[in-house]
Amino acid sequence: MKAVFVPIHPQGWPFIAAFALVAAMLWYVALPLGLFGCVLNLWCVYFFRNPDRITPVRPGLVVSPADGVVQMIVLAPAPAQLDMGDAQLARVSIFMSVFDVHVNRVPADGVIDKLFYHAGRFVNASLDKASEQNERQSVSLRLADGRRIAFVQIAGLIARRILCRLQVGQSVRAGERFGMIRFGSRVDVYLPAGVAPLVAVGQRMIAGETVIADLQSSEAQRHGDCR
């Protein structure tokens, strides 16, 4: 039944109720407006869907924190506020459109050791400068071997609300839900030094399921072709 009736994120019910009220009001004004309101209400339900995911649990795997498309893979230092140094790390940027599931998930097992929220701008999340200019929530995750992974929720042109339920000192598991971003946005993942991403630009990610890196592998960065 869950394949048909996907769970809804609790944060979505107030919006769904508001959209339903507007749709009902439009219905009394004119039938075409009412039908348009119903379509918007159905989209709102679709946007806040919160499906379960099957997370691979082998030690060393880093899974995608977001649904969406890998927009860019570059070398960049982790956010300065996380105190991870100036080393150039592989950064995988995953762009979420308004049609993707927006529930975010923890990329690996570990302990949350730093959180930093920055109230910035709302430029297009697909631009590289969004990593430094946009509103964002940065998270540092310490792994069992002492290495750290950073992941950053970035608000976009339409997104105006970042939700993050993590706390410093909290133990987390790969694939756990930890927050979401409304509406259309991006999540960056900074891998430990020397770890290459096993995904390619343009590849579609499934939060909590798609493996984006293997900390136990020495494989070089992968590349992909559209076929």
Same domain, 173 and 70: yes
Same domain, 137 and 35: no
- Measured between alpha carbons, how far is 94 from 153 in angstroms, rounded to an integer? 10
Overall number of domains in the chain: 2
Same domain, 103 and 128: yes
Same domain, 39 and 111: no
Is-contact 98 186, C-beta < 8 A? no
Write out the two tokens for 91. Answer: 């950064």
Q: Is the omega angle on the peptide bond into residue 183 within 30 degrees of 0, that is, cis?
A: yes
68 forms bridges with which residues in the sheet? 205
Rounded to a whole number of angstroms, the CA Rg of the chain reads 18
Percentage helix, strand, coil for the chain under 3-state DSSP, each rounded to 5:
20, 35, 50
Q: Which domain holds residue 30?
A: 10-47
CA distances (Å), 208 to each of 32, 139, 205, in order? 40, 17, 9
Question: Residue 90 domain-assigned?
Answer: yes
pLDDT in tens, 13-56: 777 787 788 878 887 778 777 788 788 777 767 677 888 999 99
CATH number at residue 148: 2.70.70
Q: What is the pLDDT of residue 51?
A: 87
The band of 1, judged by pLDDT with boundaries at 50, 70 and 90, is very low
Same domain, 73 and 36: no
Check if 64 is active-site: no
pTM: 0.83
Name the percent of the chain lying above pLDDT 90.
53
Q: Is the pLDDT of residue 4 over 60?
A: no
Given the residues 97, 185, 217, 218, the one annotated as active site? 185
Q: Is the pLDDT of residue 2 over 70?
A: no
Same domain, 35 and 115: no
Same domain, 71 and 36: no
Question: Residue 161 domain-assigned?
Answer: yes
- Measured between alpha carbons, how far is 217 from 61 in angstroms, rounded to an integer? 9
The residue among 134 and 108 whose pLDDT is bigger is 108
